[in-house]
Each structure stands twice: as structure tokens, then as C-alpha cells.
Amino acid sequence: MKIFKKILLTLPLLLLLTTISLLLPSKTEAAQFEFKPYTLNSDQTVDEDLYVVADDIKIDGVVDGDVILIGNTVKLDGTITGDAYIIGTTLTIDSNIYGNIFVLGNNTKIEGLVTDNTYIISSFLDYQADTQRDMLAIFFDGILKGSVGDDLRAIGVKPQIESIIRGDLVLIGEQGNLTETTVTGEIYDSNRLSRIAESQGVDIEETPSFGLETIWESRALSLTINFLSFLLVGFILISISPVKTYKIQEQITGSTNEFLKSLAVGFIVFMLIPIPLFILTISIVGAPAAMLITGLLIFLMFFGKVWVETALGKEILGLLKVEGYRPFKSFLTGRVLTILVNIIPIVRGFYNMILSFVALGAVIRMKKGYYQLANKEAKEYREKNKDTKKKTIKKTTEKKKTNKKRES
């Protein structure tokens, strides 16, 4: 229906708001960070917040705090006393979570208990859990069973709702009937929303006066200008910093783990940086530094996408059997990919956010590598200088002794 298409246009903003809420944990505690394949056995307990970025993650034990899990395959069967933030390709969750849960995945199955709210964005969803408060689910193809303690808001192309809902149901999608669904409150499906709009004098079926052709012409012009302007900026950045471009690529496409590490570092920095920036801003001495850091962050998160697109383009060229290091051709390929993704309303906001986080994390990791290398060289130089100084002192002492013997 047309109302479904209209509401889909608002999804990028909804995705952005959901992701921002994911970035804001409810409390600050000690934290444990893991960057290798990680398993927490059923007889183990982590008494602090747990951050894991790895290909394979398995949590069977107890985490007394929040968890942030970013990986390819994530299996969560343990107990979480705080909030859970989970991003991955294949997600299997059968856990007791005594807080909120935020899920972003491709193939997701959720069972167990959630005492607060549930937020899910997934291509394919199998929900059989018990959420005691509100639930928001955005998916392509999904079946929702289990129960929801308050309101359920579901947006899907192929929704199948069979949950016990103790509040209202807001459903955007085509479902033939809801006879098997137990809803205590009101049901607002696409048809009812259309009738409500019509009662307020808004004709949902009416075609806008500017027409679809005009929309696409405007969109095509905007994409063309964006493509050409960013292409120029990218060529300039690559030309003036070819070595940095290569080094940053290593932090992105060296392996899947490198990409996830850069994403996690950018994510964490973006989450934590507002606190020191606020402290600097309210102080007279630190205000200029806060402005400088803020400007640098904006630059990296916006224009840093040049390096991420170059890395992605290099991988695409590799798949096409184009060998050799070709930064300009790689960037052009990556830029075309971004333009194509930006045509899709639902995913373009999330895609660009991922690029920004990866760019920020990759640059920070590269600078950290330079810093560690400089420290290592400085340490070696000091050790070498120290040995040379000892030898010089020893020779001077021996020379003095020899001179004294001659005089005597």
C-alpha cells in the first residue's frame, strides 16, 4: 500500500535515532575489552561491562553489567544484568537480560527473557522471547511469537505476528489476518492508519503534485553533484597522502577482524568523546582545544569515508581480478558503490554511519601504530646511546689511569 511506502521513507531517521540510543549506555562502570574469538563458559562470571569485537562470540556465563558484542557469529545464552547491544551477521540469543536489548543483524533468532525494552533491526527475524515492556522490530521477513508486555511496533515487508501483546499493536506491512494474535489493546494496521488519515482530511492515495518523475530527477541531480564533488575531494586527499591512504586501508580490509576492530574503535570513541569535549568546552583554557578536536572529528567522520571507499573499492576490484595497487581506480569503484547504496532509503543512513565509524577507528588505529613505533625507536636509541656513553666513560677512565701510571 502507498502508506507503507510513505512510512518507509522515514526509516533512515528511525535507524539513526535507534543507533544513537545504542551509543548511550545507562551507566558507567569498569570495562573488559576482548578483540579475539571469545567464549564465556557457563561457570564463569564477568563483574563489569563486557566489550567484545571478534568473528565468533559465545556467552554462556553471567555478565554483571552491560555487554556490547560485535561479530560475525554471536551466540548469547548467558545472563546479563544490564543492557545488551549486539551487532552481527548471525545472531542466536537465548538469554535472561535484565535491561534493554538492541539488536542489529542479518539472520536473528531471539528467545529468553528481556525485562525492559527490545529494539531489533534484522533482515530475517525469528522472535520467540518474552519482552516485559515495549518492543520495536524492523525486518524484511519475520515471524514474531512469544509475548510483549506493552506495545509492539513492527515494520516489515513480510510480517507474521503471532505474539501475545498486552498493549497496542502498530503494524506497518501486509499481513492477511491477525486472528491468531492476542492483542489486549488496539490494533493499528496499514488500513486503519489510512482511515485515520482520511478522517483528518489527508488523502493517502493522492499522488503528490510534483510527481514521481520530478522526485527522481531531483534525486538524480543531487546524487550526481554529490558524486562529482566528493570524487574531487577524494582525489585530492589520495594525492597529498598516498602513504596514509595505504596504511589506513590495512586497518580496514587487512581481514574481517581488522574491519571489525576499526568499527569498534570508531564506535567507542564516538560514544566516549563527548564527555572530555564538554569538560574542555566549559573551561576557558580548553575551549579552543575542544573546537579543534570537534572540527577534526567532523573532518574524519565525513571526509574519512574517502579512505574507507578506497579500501572497499580495492576489494571489489580484487573480486573482478584487477590486480595491483590502484588507489584512484579503487576510490572511483568505492564511490560508485556508495552512490548505489544511497539510492536505497532504508539502508543508506546506516551504511554512511558505518563508513564514518570505520574511518574514525582506522585513522586512530593507524596513529596508535605510529606512536608505538616511535616509542620503540626512541627506546632503542636511548639504549644504544646508553651503551655508547658507558663505553666512552670506560675509555676515559682507562686513559686517565694510563696517564697516571706514566707520570709515576
Q: Is residue 208 part of a domain?
A: no
Which of 99-103, 142-146, 263-267, 279-283 is least confident? 279-283
In a domain, 65, yes or no: yes
**Does some domain include residue 132?**
yes
Indicate whether 151 pLDDT > 90. yes
Residues 228 and 171 placed together within one structural domain of the fold:
no
Confidence at residue 7, expressed as pLDDT on a 0 to 100 scale: 43
Q: Is the pLDDT of residue 325 over 70?
A: no
Q: Is residue 252 part of a domain?
A: yes
Do residues 163 and 232 both lie within one domain?
A: no
The rounded Cα 278 to chain-centroid distance in angstroms is 23
Domain boundary residue, one of 199, 234, 265: 199
Identify the band that residue 13 occupies on the pLDDT scale cut at 50, 70 and 90: very low
163 plus 248 within the same structural domain: no
Same domain, 172 and 225: no
At 45-72, the pLDDT tens digits run 999 999 998 889 999 999 999 999 988 8
- In this prediction, residue 330 has a pLDDT band, given cuts at 50, 70 and 90, of confident
The answer to whether residues 69 and 7 belong to one domain is yes
Nearest to 83 by CA among 111, 106, 116, 126: 116
Q: Which domain holds residue 158?
A: 2-199
Name the more confident of 191 and 131: 131
Give the residue among 249, 239, 234 at the shortest CA–CA distance from 363: 249
Domain check: are 133 and 188 in the same one?
yes
User: In whole numbers, what is the pLDDT of the chain averaged over residues?
Assistant: 80
Q: What value does the mean pLDDT take over residues 136-144?
A: 90
What confidence tier does 9 reach under pLDDT thresholds 50, 70, 90? very low
Long-range contacts of the stretch 23-31 (C-beta < 8 A, 24+): 23/267, 23/270, 23/271, 24/271, 25/49, 25/66, 25/82, 25/83, 25/271, 26/66, 26/82, 26/83, 26/99, 27/66, 27/82, 29/65, 29/66, 31/65
pLDDT tens string 350-404: 888 898 899 998 888 888 887 787 788 878 777 777 666 666 666 676 666 666 6
Q: Quick one: angle between helices 305-319 and 211-240, nearest 10?
A: 100
DSSP output for 260-290: HHHHHHHHHHHHHTHHHHHHHHHSTTTHHHH
Which position has the grid cell 558524486?
227
Most confident among 30-39, 131-140, 164-173, 289-298 (mean pLDDT): 131-140
pLDDT at 249: 82
Asked, for residue 401, whether it belongs to a domain, the answer is: no
Q: Report the pLDDT value the prediction gives residue 102, as an integer from 0 to 100.
A: 94
Q: Give the predicted TM-score (pTM) of the model.
A: 0.52
For residue 64, is it within any domain?
A: yes
In this structure, the answer to whether residues 155 and 282 fall within a common structural domain is: no
Residues 15 and 92 in one domain: yes
Verify that 293 and 355 share a domain, yes or no: yes
pLDDT value at position 215? 55
Residue that wins the pLDDT comparison between 29 and 281: 281
Residue 351 lies in a domain: yes
Question: Same domain, yes or no, for 44 and 123?
Answer: yes
- The mean pLDDT of 164-169, rounded to a whole number, is 91
* More confident: 9 or 242: 242
What total of structural domains would you count in the chain? Answer: 2
Residue at which a domain ends, from 199, 233, 258:
199
24 and 100, same structural domain?
Answer: yes
- pLDDT tens column, 273-309: 888 888 888 877 788 888 888 888 888 888 888 888 8
| Of 199, 224, 241, the domain-final residue | 199
In a shared domain, residues 50 and 179: yes
